[in-house]
């Protein structure tokens, strides 16, 4: 998708961090942009900083399917059909899995993974239907994952899990939507200048029952670290450039390339040369069909860039 002018974009988590960077970059390209965020005060501040362009705010808890559908209807009634969807909202808990509760899982899965699923399920069928009807050409879905989707450590365990799932979802969606001319990208940033370190402030009361006490000193340390994160506007600009190029993976931070190569080599080193087991030849013959289909999808995806 090369021409953004006049298109409607919907950005979740759009009032801060990567989200506001995406909003500004899309507005610069001539889009009408809806800022969706759970914090009305943050939406108001964002709107006040965007003084001269077509932009609106909509308060949204991305974990709610009903609220997502209502927000989509509200935006499309005002700005017209959404053809650029940025599923960007995310929260974090900086703790290992063994110290986490079901409430912790439900909160992060609800925002980081189900929020992306809800965005896809809400908007993609509408986009596909308009393409089939000839009323829309192209479109794009950008899902924000993280380098944590590739580079896992002991903490934050749940966050890593959600971001790896978003990465897999995006790659699968990419291949299935190629036939409609709708692009899909997964944004994998590193450290960002944002307030994700203060995610606990957004935690819903219903999921606080098994919540650990907030470590104020740790939050303060994380705030200092995030001050050195990449500026959201830099990420937004790089993401829009990648959408124009229809790239599947968007690596906004160049500082992880060597580490990623080490991780892939580490994974491959775990393969063992086992002897053939019963059924090996038949299984390999079946797997060839899967491999050929995957190779064809990757080739078509690359050709679309």
Residues classed as catalytic: 159
CA 237, 241, 247, 251 dihedral sign is negative
Token pair, residue 273, equals 């040369």
B/e letters for 16-38, b = 16+ CB within 10 Å, e = fewer, are bbbbbbbbbbbbebebbbbbbbb
**Exposure class string for 44-68: b at 16+ Cβ within 10 A, else e:** eebeeebeeeebbbbebbbbbeebb
41 by DSSP, 3-state: which? helix
Query: Mapping DSSP to helix (H, G, I), strand (E, B) and coil, where does residue 215 land?
Result: coil
What's the rounded Cα separation, in Å, for the pair 81 and 222?
39
CA dist 233 and 245 (Å) reads 18
């Amino acid at each position: 998708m090369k021409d953004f002018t006049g298109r409607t974009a919907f950005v979740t988590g759009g009032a801060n961090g990567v989200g506001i960077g995406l909003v500004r970059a899309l507005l610069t390209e001539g889009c009408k942009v809806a800022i969706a965020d759970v914090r009305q005060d943050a939406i108001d501040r964002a709107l006040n900083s965007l003084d001269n362009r077509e932009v609106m705010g909509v308060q949204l808890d991305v974990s709610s399917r009903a609220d997502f559908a209502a927000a989509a209807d509200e935006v499309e009634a005002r700005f017209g059909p959404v053809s650029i969807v940025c599923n960007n909202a995310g929260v974090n808990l900086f703790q290992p899995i063994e110290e986490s509760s079901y409430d912790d899982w439900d909160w992060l899965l609800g925002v980081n993974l189900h929020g992306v699923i809800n965005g896809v399920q809400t908007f993609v069928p509408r986009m596909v239907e308009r393409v089939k009807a000839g009323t829309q050409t192209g479109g794009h879905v950008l899902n924000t994952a993280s380098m944590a989707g590739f580079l896992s450590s002991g903490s934050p365990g749940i966050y890593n899990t959600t971001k790896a799932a978003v990465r897999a979802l995006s790659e699968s969606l990419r291949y299935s939507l190629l036939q409609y001319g709708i692009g899909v990208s997964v944004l994998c940033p590193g450290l960002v200048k944002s307030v994700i370190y203060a995610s606990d402030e957004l935690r819903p009361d219903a999921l606080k029952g098994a919540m650990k006490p907030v470590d104020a000193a740790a939050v303060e340390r994380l705030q200092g670290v995030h001050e050195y994160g990449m500026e959201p506007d830099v990420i937004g600009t790089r993401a829009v450039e990648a959408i124009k190029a229809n790239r599947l993976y968007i690596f906004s931070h160049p500082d992880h390339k060597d580490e990623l190569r080490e991780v892939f080599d580490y994974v491959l080193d775990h393969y063992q040369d086992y002897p053939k087991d019963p059924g090996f030849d038949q299984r390999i013959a079946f797997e060839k069909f899967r491999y050929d289909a995957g190779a064809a999808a990757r080739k078509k995806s690359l050709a679309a860039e």
